[in-house]
Structure 1
Amino acid sequence: MLTLTSGAVQVIRTVTADPELPPETGIRIESGVDGSDALRLSVASAPEEGDEIVEEQGARVYLEPQVAQLLSDKTLDAQVDAQGEVAFTLAQATA
């Protein structure tokens, strides 16, 4: 199962903390468009049918079924640069 670093948890919680959003809002990772190998990450108000849900310390990540399998041995991290831009990265999970 995908694991989250403390940095990813903090960024996801910040991004989804808007009081205007539903309480189950999270980040959804899905396959890229047009058959691309790239992954697409977006804010989602709820999981879609069949999504795997990863939740840690109030941060929710919804994974499209094919993506969940692809990322089952990965760790999601997030960094915020000096300009406030967020960058998510995936790495091989450590045992």
Structure 2
Amino acid sequence: MTASAPEPAQSGIRISSQGEGANSLTLSLANAPEPADEVVEAEGARVYLDPVAATVLEDKSLDAGADDQGSVSFLVTDQPV
């Protein structure tokens, strides 16, 4: 997804909160992290989390997959204990 971004070496997926609360998170493509973002890198993927999203997702795992048509889906689950 980020290979065609203007700066693929820095690009990633950004998860951010909507407004003041943690009731709604938004996923978007980003060319680079925002100054307060936490950066998580694993298996060639880079995810930027704003401070609220980082707190909400600190005990979660993010998995991504693509179907035969190229549609990407994401799944957030609890990390195994």
Question: Where on the TM-score scale, by shorter chain, does this alignment land: which range?
Answer: 0.7 to 0.9
> Which structure shows the bigger proportion of residues in strand conformation?
2
TM-score when normalising by structure 1: 0.73
Give the Å deviation of 1:36.
7.5
Determine if the alignment matches structure 1 residue 89 to structure 2 residue 75.
Answer: yes
Determine if the alignment matches structure 1 residue 39 to structure 2 residue 25.
Answer: yes
TM-score when normalising by structure 2: 0.85
Q: Residues 38 and 82 (structure 1 numbering): CA distance in 2 closer, same or farther, change over 3 Å?
A: farther
Figure out how many residues of one structure are paired with residues of the other and give that number: 80
Cα deviation code 1:53-91 (max 9, x no counterpart): 001133110000011010000000112123321111100
Determine if the alignment matches structure 1 residue 70 to structure 2 residue 56.
Answer: yes
User: Which aligned pairs between 1:47-66 and structure 2 lie closer than 5 A?
Assistant: 47-66=33-52
- Unmatched runs of 5 consecutive residues or more in structure 2: none
Alignment correspondent of 1:4:
none
Determine if the alignment matches structure 1 residue 21 to structure 2 residue 6.
Answer: yes
> Which structure shows the bigger proportion of residues in helix conformation?
1
RMSD of the alignment, in Å?
1.9
Q: Residues 75 and 36 (structure 1 numbering): CA distance in 2 closer, same or farther, change over 3 Å?
A: closer
